[in-house]
A and B are shown apart, each in its own frame.
Chain A
Amino acid sequence: MYLRPSTLREACEALVEAPAAILAGGTDFFPALADRPPPPRILDLSRIDGLDGLEIIDGVLRIGARVTWSRIARAPLPPCFDGLRAAAREVGSVQIQNVATLSGNLCNASPAADGVPPLLTLDASVELASSSGTRCLPLAAFLLGNRHTARRPDEILTAILVPVASPDATSCFLKLGARRYLVISIVMVAVLLEVAEGRVRSARIAIGACSAVATRMPELEAALIGASPAALGSLVRPHHLERLAPIADVRATADYRSEAALELVRRALRRCDGAAA
C-alpha cells in the first residue's frame, strides 16, 4: 500500500491503522532493501506541508523533517552550525545530499550516521508527532542503539530542534574512511567549543562509528574547561575516550578506531581553535 497524505494529521491517522515504512528522502530506504521488494506499506511524506521549514525562532533552529543535507550545507547559519554543515558536505554524494534528509539520517539510526555527532554537540532534540499529540526527546534519548530509536510505530519525526549556541561558539566535524568519498565512516568526531577571554568556557565533543550510538565525551569535555585553546590537543588522553566501544569490522579494527578517534579529536579541537582565532 502506498500512502501519500497531504496533512500531518492524515499521516498520523494512517499510522494508527497500521505501521508503515516512512519515506522522506529515500536514500537509506532503497539500499536497505538489498534485492528484496519494498515493504508492503509505505507512507510518503513528500506532499505534507510544513515539514520543509528551516528557520530560527526564539533562538532555536527548527529543521523540518524534509530538509535535505544540501539545504543545510547552503544555509547561512551561525558558526556553531559549521560542524553540521561540514557533515552535510560529506554525507554520501551530492546526488544524495540533494534528497537525503537529516531526519531520515536520525530515524535510520546507523552507528555511522553522519548527522548524529554534530547534532549531539548542539544539544539537539527531536519532535515526534502522533495522533495522540506531540512530544520532544533529547537526541541522546531518541537514539537507543544500532538501528533502534525511541520512535513508536505510530509516530513521525517532524522536526529537529537545535538551540543556537552563543555567537562565540565554533564547531567542526571530521570523518575518516578507507576511501576518500562515499565512505561509510570508520570514525567521526564533532566538536563545539565556546571560548571566552582566552579560556574554554564549554566544550562539547561527540564521537560516532565507535559505539552502537554516537556518544558525547563528558569526561573529556570537563577536562578541557578553563584550558587555553591552543593547548587543547595535548590535554586529550586515551582514558577520556573510555566510553567508546568500537567494533572490528571489514572497514577497520577496534584498536585502529580507538587510535584514530584520539587523533581526530585532537585535530578537531585544533581546528576549532583555529576557527576561533
Chain B
Amino acid sequence: MPEPGSLASTRREVVAGGGACVVAGTAAPPARAQEARKGTPNGAAFPVALVVNGQRRELDLDTRTTLLDALREHLHLTGTKKGCDHGQCGACTVLLDGRRINSCLTLAVMHDGAAITTIEGLGTPENLHPMQAAFVRHDGYQCGYCTPGQICSGVAVLDEIKAGIPSHVTADLTSPVALSADEIRERMSGNICRCGAYSNIVDAMADAAGMTDAAGRQG
C-alpha cells in the first residue's frame, strides 16, 4: 500500500472527487466570462494577470500567445528559453503553481491568476539559489541555453522526491523515495542538453540536495 503520509493530499483528492483540484486563480470577471463564452477573435487583446516571481503582472495578450512567449516577448523574462516550442526539449520549464511544466505547451490566457516561478525568480548572480550555485560549481552546463530549464526542473525534482512522489525507476513504491543518481537521471530526462552536461548536472543536483538537507530549504 502507498505510504499514507506521502500520499495524504492525493488521497483526499480521490475521496473528495472533483472539488479537490483547485485551479489557482479565480473565475474570470463576469463581463470577461461572457466574452469568453462568445469567443475572442484571434489576435484580439485578452486581459491576463499572472503572478510572476511574486509580482502581479497584467497583460493584454493575443489569445494565441503561449505562456512562454508571454514571459519572453511581453515580460522580457528571457531566461525561460524557446528550444523547440513543441514540448520536446524542456528548455522552457517553469514552475506553475509549484509544479514544473513546459511553458511552450500552454496558452497564457489559460493561466489567468496563476503563480509562475521562472529562473529569474530563483536567484540572482549576486545571490544564487543553491541549485544555481551547484550548477556553476559542477559545470552543469555549457552553452547555457537549456540551463534555466534544467535548474527549474532540478529544483522541482528535489521537491518531488521530498514529497515522496515515485518515478518510473523507483523500485519500491511503498517506502519513501530515496535520492539517487538513477532517480535524478530519470526525473531530469525531460530536459535535453545537447552539449551533454548530463553527468555534471547529476553531480550538481546531488550536491544541491545535500546542501538542502544540511541547511534547510533556501530560496
Contacts and interface: CB of A to CB of B under 8 A. Distances in A.
Interface in A13-48: 14, 23, 25-27, 29-31, 37-38, 40-42, 44, 46-47
B175 interface: no
Contacts of A52: 18, 21, 23
Q: How large is the interface on B (under 10, 10 to 19, 20 to 34, 35 or more residues)?
A: 35 or more
Contacts of A77: 14
Given A54-B13, A93-B190, A95-B90, A64 B18 contact: yes
Contacts, number: 160
A76 B90 CA distance: 28
Contact of B87 (A27, A42, A86, A180): A27
Nearest to A90: B168
Contacts of A242: none
A6 B29 CA distance: 11
A89 B160 CA distance: 13
A31 B87 contact: yes
A138 interface: no
Interface stretch (B36-44, B51-59, B137-145): B36-44
Interface stretch (B70-78, B99-107, B116-124, B206-214): B99-107
B17 A54 contact: yes
A93 B146 CA distance: 15
Contact of B104 (A30, A66, A93, A181): A30
Given A64-B18, A71-B10, A182-B88, A93 B189 contact: yes
Given A2-B39, A74-B10, A86-B168, A23 B107 contact: yes
Q: Is the interface of A mostly helix, strand, loop or mixed?
A: loop
Nearest to B164: A74
A226 interface: no
Given A2-B63, A98-B100, A46 B13 contact: no
A6 B37 contact: yes
B42 A75 contact: no
8 contacts: A6-B36, A47-B33, A55-B14, A55-B15, A74-B165, A75-B14, A86-B168, A182-B189
